[in-house]
Amino acid sequence: MLFRKWIIVLIALFVLFSGCVRAPPEITPAPSATPSAPSPFTVNVTSYPGNVKGEANFTIQWEVSGGAGNITHTAVHFGFKSGGPDVKDYGRFSKVYTGKIPQQFIAELIAPESGPIYFRAHAMVEGKDVYTPEYIITINP
């Protein structure tokens, strides 16, 4: 009978302590020694009208910044339908500028009679193409 009591006590202790045992901590891998570096250059549209009157003049302003370097090409690329990943899909572009980073630019354009204008600012810096997202300007008749 004493033997049975010890077995019951041992089983009770086992059940009691089995829920208190911690799982080993998860090991998080160390960060890669060579992280991929994003382009230090950025292109940002700083000003544009949300809508313009048909056949009126308007301006788009943008800046190229982030570090130091030579801007070999920057312009506003635009068209009358949404462009794809390549700015050549827009079909038109503003005056092309060059210069040193950081710098701000202004494009003066004339609105068509109707329809939206889709555009992206683009810059080529140190051999890398950098683009803004696509923007839309509504043309009011």
* Rounded-to-integer distance, Cα 131 and Cα 121, Å: 6
Cβ atoms 46, 80 nearer than 8 A: no
Q: pLDDT grade, residue 52 (50/70/90)?
A: very high
pLDDT average, residue stretch 84-94:
83
**Banded model confidence at residue 17, pLDDT cuts 50, 70, 90:** very low
Which residue segments constitute the domains of the chain, with CATH numbers given?
Answer: 42-140 (2.60.40.10)
At residue 18 the predicted structure's pLDDT band, cuts being 50, 70 and 90, is very low
Find where tokens 């982030």 sit. Answer: 66
Cα separation, 102 vs 67, whole angstroms: 8
What was the pLDDT predicted at 8? 60
Say what the pLDDT of residue 4 is: 58
